[in-house]
Amino acid sequence: MHIVVCVKQVPDTTEVKIDPETNTLDRSSAPAIINPYDAHAVDEAVRLKEQHGGKVTIISMGPPGAVEVIKKCIELGADEGYLLSDRKFAGSDTLATSYILAKGIETICQDNPFQLIFCGKQAIDGDTAQVGPGIARRLLIPQLTYVNEVTAVDSAKEVITVHRKLDDGYEVVEAKMPCLITVEKEINQLRYSSLPNMLRAARYQPHMLNADELNADVTNMGLKGSPTSVAKIFAPEQRGEGEIIAGSNDETINQLIQKLSDQMAK
């Protein structure tokens, strides 16, 4: 079974420090990491490979520095990694991103067709959850989003069964492979990397692909290929400053209740 996992490099937003006075971002505090959902996607792909045999290939679109997240995936047990990197990709919105990734997948799977594509549920920076469905539509394969469990893979019949998370439970869905799956974090517990994988990752050099090597239409990429653009940027509106109620605990509570009572009577 050939499994392709789409992995994005993102700033570690939990580490981002923001200066509330100037609204500026202290980027030195934000290391680039693998999108957390994508790490679970890689782990799930590796688990399936362990059970069913085959190969796990990583694909990422990003700046040259994103080779680091591909190496991280090799640590997690992936076999190969490809970085799509080109200035022509810069400024891509989700439509252009899904085009580039789909073309990349077609290119690297020419001689070894894929049965499954894994994506994260969403990227923690862009946060749109649109790239997974976009890739599925471009490759004309079924999409299974918000998956929190893979329950069965029947390689002979080429059918996969998963649980898709719903607001108040889950649904059991069966799909014909090849198909695309986007994963929730609950799908697995990340495992520690093995020593051989770590050693391999340290030496590993990901394959690099640029726009010309994708056999694709450059007008569908980057700013040109992106229907959406930013018209305006502004600071968010704030609610008015709060009224501070001071005094001993009993006094403040009395005052608060009085004020609430007045306000609710309005």
Partner 1 sequence: MGCEACVAECPHQALYMNDEGQCNVLENDCVDCGQCVDVCPVAAISLPQRAESKEQSNNTSDKNVISENKTEEKAVKLEGDLSKYQGVWVFIEQREGEIASVSLELLGAGRELADKLGVELSGVLLGSEIADKANNLYQYGADKVYLLEHPGLKYYRTETYMQNFVQLVQKYNPEVILMGATTTGRDLAGAVATDLGTGLTADCTALDIDPEERLLLATRPAFGGNIMATIVSKKHRPQMATVRSKVMKMPKPIFEQQGELVKVDVEIDESQLLTKVREIVQQAGDKVNLQDAEIIVAGGRGLGDGDNFKVCYDLAKSIGAQVGASRAAVEAGWIDHKYQVGQTGVTVAPKIYIALGISGAIQHLVGIRGSDIIIAVNTDPEAPIFKECTYGIVGDALEIAPLLKQPLQQLLADKKAS
Ligand X SMILES: Cc1cc2nc3c(=O)[nH]c(=O)nc-3n(C[C@H](O)[C@H](O)[C@H](O)COP(=O)(O)OP(=O)(O)OC[C@H]3O[C@@H](n4cnc5c(N)ncnc54)[C@H](O)[C@@H]3O)c2cc1C
Contact set for partner 1, span 120-139 (CB under 8 A):
124-125, 127-134, 136-138
Q: What single DSSP character describes residue 1?
A: -
Question: Cβ 196 to ligand X, closest distance in Å?
Answer: 26
Partner whose footprint covers residue 256, from ligand X, partner 1, none (CB < 5 to 8 Å by kind): partner 1
Other CB atoms within 10 A of residue 160 CB: 25
52 vs 87 by CB, closer to partner 1 = 87
111 vs 168 by CB, closer to partner 1 = 168
Is residue 110 part of the contact set for ligand X (CB under 6 A)?
no
Question: Cβ 110 to partner 1, closest distance in Å?
Answer: 22
How is residue 168 written in tokens?
């108040």
Is residue 157 part of the contact set for partner 1 (CB under 8 A)?
no
Spell 182-214 as b/e; 16+ CB within 10 A means b. bbbeebbeeeebeeebeebbeebebbebebeeb
Q: How many residues does the chain have?
A: 266
Task: Give the residue, chosen from 149, 174, 207, 213, that forms a contact with partner 1 under the rule CB under 8 A.
Answer: 174
Is residue 93 part of the contact set for ligand X (CB under 6 A)?
yes
Is residue 155 part of the contact set for partner 1 (CB under 8 A)?
no
Helix/strand/coil for 166: strand
Partner whose footprint covers residue 37, from partner 1, ligand X, none (CB < 5 to 8 Å by kind): ligand X
How is residue 258 written in tokens?
């009085």
User: CA-to-CA distance for 77 and 198, rounded, in angstroms?
Assistant: 9
Instruction: From residue 167, give the alpha-carbon distance in Å to each of 131, 170, 195.
Output: 21, 8, 39
Piece of the chain touching ligand X by CB under 6 A; list 10-18, 70-78, 190-198, 233-241: 10-18
Of residues 173, 125, 122, the one with CA closest to residue 152: 173
27 vs 157 by CB, closer to ligand X = 27
Site for ligand X in 167-226 (CB under 6 A): none
4 forms bridges with which residues in the sheet? 57, 117
Task: Give the residue, chosen from 21, 53, 195, 232, that forms a contact with partner 1 under the rule CB under 8 A.
Answer: 232
Start-to-end Cα distance in the chain: 66
Task: Give the residue, chosen from 110, 189, 205, 249, that forms a contact with partner 1 under the rule CB under 8 A.
Answer: 249
How is residue 161 written in tokens?
């069964």
User: CA-to-CA distance for 85 and 63, rounded, in angstroms?
Assistant: 6
Task: Give the residue, chosen from 94, 115, 188, 197, that forms a contact with ligand X under the rule CB under 6 A.
Answer: 94
Spell 43-64 as b/e; 16+ CB within 10 A means b. bbbbbbbeeeebebbbbbbbee
Is residue 94 part of the contact set for partner 1 (CB under 8 A)?
yes
Site for partner 1 in 184-223 (CB under 8 A): 223
38 vs 44 by CB, closer to ligand X = 38
User: CA-to-CA distance for 42 and 73, rounded, in angstroms?
Assistant: 7
111 vs 237 by CB, closer to partner 1 = 237
Task: Give the residue, chosen from 165, 201, 209, 214, that forms a contact with partner 1 under the rule CB under 8 A.
Answer: 165
Site for ligand X in 123-162 (CB under 6 A): 123-132
